[in-house]
Amino acid sequence: MNNSLIVPKMNINAALRENAIFVDVRSPKEFEEFHIPGAINIPLFDNEERAQVGTLYKQEGEEQAKDLGIQILSAKLPDFYAAFKKLHQDNEGKSLIVYCWRGGMRSLSLTSVMSLLGLPVAQLNGGVRSFRQAVTSTLDMHASSPRKFIVIEGLTGTGKTDILHELSHEGYPVIDIEGLANHRGSVFGGIGSSPISQKAFETRLWARLEELDDSPYFIIEAESKRIGNVILPDFILQGKENGHRMQIEADLDFRVNTICMTYPFEAFHDEFRQSLSRLEKRIPPKVYADILAAFDRKDYPNFVSSLLLEYYDPRYKHAFKQYDTSSYHISISRLDEGVQLVKQNVTHILDKWDITH
């Protein structure tokens, strides 16, 4: 008689359709790099334990690594059971899908034990790698079947991101690239935020594209190819280059105020000063010295004004000239005014495209 335990398994597409609860049993470091959206991290090994098991595997072999893994699992078993039991009780009616990297020993061991203890769990076929394949497949699909793009552009501080946030709240199909990348796009863009990996960015982008699956167009902000550590996919860059463009214009005082309200200069003064040094070779020495002096005395409005006029504005005006497509020019003095004008132009563009809005 074969008394071996048959561990329930589920593939990624079925798990996503079921709105299952995903349990990621990889180490916290692996989880942080990227994971299935909404997944709960219950790590079989912490970061140090994973390194110990991996080292033992390389130096002494698979059996020795398994022995150490079993020792670690055994000591933590009551805590694992309590965590899985609570998840089951708090999410009655939802499947608990356990995964590691490739659907290997880590997820198999916990799924087996929890099943023996009577909890309804299943192992994700192929692990989180199968989800990664689903993400890349979706991005490839958008690359081969591009949609129409409306691109919001303008000099730094014209409130482009704020306008996009308001449009998104009102249900417009906005892809907030900076939000997904957790970076504002400038040399100071990562200050006060945690950097994310390329995989994590693409996972966030995948989730947003799934939300906008029925939309015939997207609205984005004009961004460079790289934002912080993240590289934008080609279909986004092509959409930016070929899309209908709206250029937001505002006077210098509006822009300086917007930037001073957006960037936490006071809270992260030292970090901003360090990042500012990266621009030293790109700005004439006397101008850079004046900008640095304004920053050091915490005269942030003058610092921002000089940096815009001497560095960012010439740079972006040159970039605008590279586009062949025409753009709508929208001059604003208040954010709410900008939102309304952009919405009016979106309606006009959609009428040209014969898209219902």
DSSP class of 322: T
Which residues, other chains included, contact 284 with Cβ-Cβ below 8 Å and sequence gap of 6+?
A: 310
Say how far apart CA 20 and CA 298 lie, in whole Å: 50
**C-alpha to C-alpha distance for 62 and 56, rounded to whole angstroms:** 8
- Of 226, 247, 254, give the one whose Cα is nearest residue 157: 254
* DSSP-based helix, strand, coil % in the chain, nearest 5: 55, 10, 30
From CA 171, how far away is CA 69, in angstroms rounded? 48
198, 139 contact by CB (below 8 A): no
* Contact indicator for 233, 139 with CB cutoff of 8 Å: yes
**Nearest-angstrom CA–CA distance, 153 and 253:** 18
The structure tokens listed for 292 are: 């640095």
Instruction: Please check whether residue 232 is in contact with residue 223, taking contact to mean a CB–CB distance below 8 angstroms.
Output: yes
Phi, psi of 351 (to 5 degrees): -65, -40
Q: What's the rounded Cα separation, in Å, for the pair 188 and 317?
A: 20
For the CA atoms of 344, 348, 353, 357, the dihedral, rounded to the nearest 10 degrees, stands at 40
DSSP 191: T
CB atoms within 10 A of CB 331: 13
Q: Is 260 a catalytic residue?
A: no
- Sign of dihedral through CA atoms 218, 224, 227, 232? positive
Q: What is the dihedral of CA 29, 30, 32, 38, to 10 degrees?
A: -140
- The residue annotated as part of the active site, out of 68, 100, 152, 256, is 100
Supply the residues annotated as catalytic: 100
